[in-house]
Amino acid sequence: MSSSPARSPSETVVVSANPELVGTPGAGHVARGAVLGVGALVHESAYVDDGAVIGAGSRVWHFAHVMGGAVIGERCSLGQNVVVMNGVRMGANCKVQNNVSLYEGVELGDDVFCGPSMVFTNVLNPRSAVSRKAEYRRTPVGRGATIGANATVVCGVSLGDYAFVGAGAVVTRDVPAYALVTGVPARQVGWMSAAGHRLVSDGTDASAPDAEWLRCEGTGARYRRVGGEVMAVGGDA
């Protein structure tokens, strides 16, 4: 196509038979009022609505739909059939796998992984005949958290930093930072490191009651648990 794009082609990377148009605000299915960061990619089959913000280097794959008012951070990946609704906030470097809908009220920190076909919700007691738009509940998801394939997160709960939800779980209660939860309803079955390996006991910490040292099975990084709270010792290795 010979039409000139609204932005310099160097600002966006596109996958299209018409690379000058698709992935550029005002062209293809990308609304003129959308904002795409440098190097953002929008597949030609995806829709990005007026007012949506997509951070630099992020990728929006086949048949995805990003609604106006959604703000997506840098270097995120939205897989096939992903829907991001108005008001959703997503940090940097999040990976949202195929068939995930992010409803209003969902807030993802940086580095969040949403497994394929996992489900968020935003109304606790929906009825088709009753409008509950004023009753949407928030679902904050902490930095580095993982939600496994086909899991469901009931709205109004929060997932702590690096929380890990096993495949198929139904989360009905808050999940602490680094906690691993599985099952229906989800119950805590252990702790997971920032690197996504089990945390195993590395001895009692005598300096505080109900405290122990933990070690990442994968990297050897050390953590400290006091009661029901886990912290990384010297950073999230």
Among 15, 182, 188, 212, binds ligand COA (CB under 6 A): 182
What are 6's two structure tokens? Answer: 């609204």
Quote the CA–CA distance of 169 and 190 in Å, as a whole number.
14
Q: Could you tell me the smallest distance in angstroms from the CB atom of residue 84 to ligand COA? A: 19
CB of 135 to ligand COA, least distance (A): 30
95 binds ligand COA (CB under 6 A): no
The distance of closest approach from Cβ of residue 116 to ligand COA in the complex, given in angstroms and rounded to an integer, is 6
How big is the CA angle at 72 (ends 71 and 78), to the nearest 5 degrees?
A: 135
In contact, 156 and 172? CB cutoff 8 Å: no
Q: Tell the smallest beta-carbon distance from residue 160 to ligand COA (Å).
A: 16
Q: Per rule CB under 6 A, is residue 185 in the interface with ligand COA?
A: no
Applying CB under 6 A, which of residues 73, 142, 144, 166 lies at the interface with ligand COA? 166
Binding site for ligand COA (CB under 6 A): 115-116, 148-149, 166-168, 182-183, 198
